[in-house]
A and B are shown apart, each in its own frame.
Chain A
Amino acid sequence: MTCTDIQTAIHGYLDGELDAVRNHEIEQHLQDCAVCSQTYKADQILQRALQTGSQYYPASADLRKRIQSSLRQVGKSEPLFPAMPWRWLAVAASVAFVVILAWALVPRLYGLDAEQLVAQAVVSSHVRSLMVDHVADVMSSDHHTVKPWFTGKLDFSPPVKNLAKEGFPLVGGRLDYLENRAVAALVYQRQKHFINLFIWPSSHDTHVKTKALARQGYHLVYWSKAGMTYWAISDLNDTELQEFVRLVQTSP
């Protein structure tokens, strides 16, 4: 390896950019050649002098401030729709996407909201009925007494079932007000727990599958069947309330 050969590579060596084989070759040459070795030492000293940082120009605090405030200016004034056709296309596509999304999602969100509202009202009614010691307007465990009691008080006839044999004796019936209308409230009991079963005609002709919720420590189950909406609520545990619901849904 001659001096000319390493003239350039020696800088790669100085900068630590060579592989091990090349490094070794350079080291060999530097050991053998006094001239190159001296040049290398001078380059090394020069490199160290440059790397001390004495030649570095840091940015002033003033410049930093200037840049930050100009960025904020640009951030504010940047046009929303630059005059580029593809941007317009993108915007149009975004708008279309949002519209479709809203169309698909809003009824769902609305439905969710409606459910929340009814659930809240059901909880309030249930709590109030227990609070004022006014569980029922008509106290009877006989569904043949309770069902006719509603006649003339409601514009519909709620199905009333006696579930005493199954461990959910009927306590009575009551008028209540939910969803901007008078509704039937049937009261059942399971040991010391009361169950309020609210019934009213469905506003839509939709069949709602049985859904369970929990709110403020109460379990709620609602469904719709044969044009009627049912909401059952109790402080019973979930399993027992589900059992109650199953009986209401299946018993004749």
Chain B
Amino acid sequence: MWEERDVSEQSRVRQFEQAVLPHMDAAYNLARWLTRNDHDAEDLVQEACLRAFKFFGSFHGDNARSWLLTIVRNTCYTWFRENRPQELTTSFDENIHSTEADPFDPEKLLLRSESGQLLKQALEDLPLEFREVLILRELEGLSYKEIAVIAGIPPGTVMSRLARARSRLKQGLTKLVNKER
């Protein structure tokens, strides 16, 4: 009985690894962008994987990446609630039209040798909920439907949140480009 149990447990681990390990980059990328540091991101991805393994029975094999990313995201948010609650309170003071007053000039950014670094900085400066949708959309290439499931928001909200996220990113970039000139 013990022998058999060990074998079935091993095959469960193997099944889990086959489903989940291919998405380890996606999991880490999301956790790294949410937490903005390597150490916490690694710990949280590990925690999320163990949590995912525990609930592997409830996974029905349709979209392992979305399933894993949802768990990673929830694990990160739990960690934020306990360690950095201030990050979860977003201020909605952004003005979507401010870009018109000081329009973002992508040429200005791309001419800079450190454009990648500036882009990274601007992304990190974004409030959590905007950073999240941009990472899922642009870095992970997920559909609105998938993003809605992972971020736990209505599908209709994804587009408007991305609109605001991009607007904010452009504002941030404009500030950084002008400041560092």
- Evaluate contact between B46 and A45: CB separation under 8 angstroms: no
A interface residue numbers (CB < 8 A to B): 7-12, 15, 17, 35, 38-39, 41-43, 45-47, 49-51, 53-60, 63-64, 66-68, 70-72, 74-76, 78, 80
A-B CB contacts (within 8 Å), total count: 117
Residues of B within 8 A of A72 (CB): 13
B152: CB under 8 A from chain A?
A: no
What's the nearest-Cβ distance from chain A to residue B5, in Å? 7
Q: 1/0 per residue B86-105: CB within 8 Å of A?
A: 00000000001001100111
- Evaluate contact between A75 and B104: CB separation under 8 angstroms: no
Q: A67-B49, A71-B49 are in contact. Are A57 and B29 (CB under 8 A)?
A: yes
Residues of B within 8 A of A12 (CB): 144, 159
Query: Considering only CB atoms, which chain B residue lies closest to A66 in the complex?
Result: B46
Contact of B16 among A41, A46, A71 (CB under 8 A): A71
- Evaluate contact between B104 and A42: CB separation under 8 angstroms: yes
B interface residue numbers (CB < 8 A to A): 5-6, 9-10, 12-13, 16-17, 21, 24-25, 27-29, 32-33, 41-42, 45-46, 49-50, 53-54, 96, 99-100, 103-106, 109-110, 115-116, 119-120, 123, 134, 137-139, 141, 143-144, 159-160, 162-163, 166, 169-170, 173
Contact of B42 among A47, A54, A58, A66 (CB under 8 A): A66
Q: Which 5 A-B pairs have the closest CB atoms?
A: A59-B28, A50-B138, A45-B106, A57-B32, A59-B24
Cα–Cα distance between A54 and B141 once the two chains are bound (Å): 14
Residues of A within 8 A of B110 (CB): 45, 49
- Evaluate contact between A11 and B115: CB separation under 8 angstroms: no
Cα–Cα distance between A15 and B147 once the two chains are bound (Å): 12
- Evaluate contact between A15 and B144: CB separation under 8 angstroms: yes
Cα–Cα distance between A71 and B120 once the two chains are bound (Å): 33
What's the nearest-Cβ distance from chain B to residue A65, in Å? 11
- Evaluate contact between B134 and A50: CB separation under 8 angstroms: yes
Having A15-B162, A42-B106, A70-B46, one finds 13 other A-B pairs with CB under 8 Å, namely A8-B160, A11-B162, A17-B159, A43-B166, A47-B138, A49-B109, A49-B110, A57-B33, A63-B24, A66-B46, A68-B21, A70-B50, A71-B50
Q: Could you give 24 example pairs across A and B, Cβ below 8 Å?
A: A15-B137, A15-B159, A17-B159, A42-B103, A42-B170, A43-B170, A46-B169, A46-B170, A50-B138, A54-B116, A55-B119, A57-B29, A59-B24, A59-B29, A63-B45, A64-B21, A66-B42, A67-B45, A70-B49, A70-B50, A74-B50, A74-B54, A75-B9, A75-B12
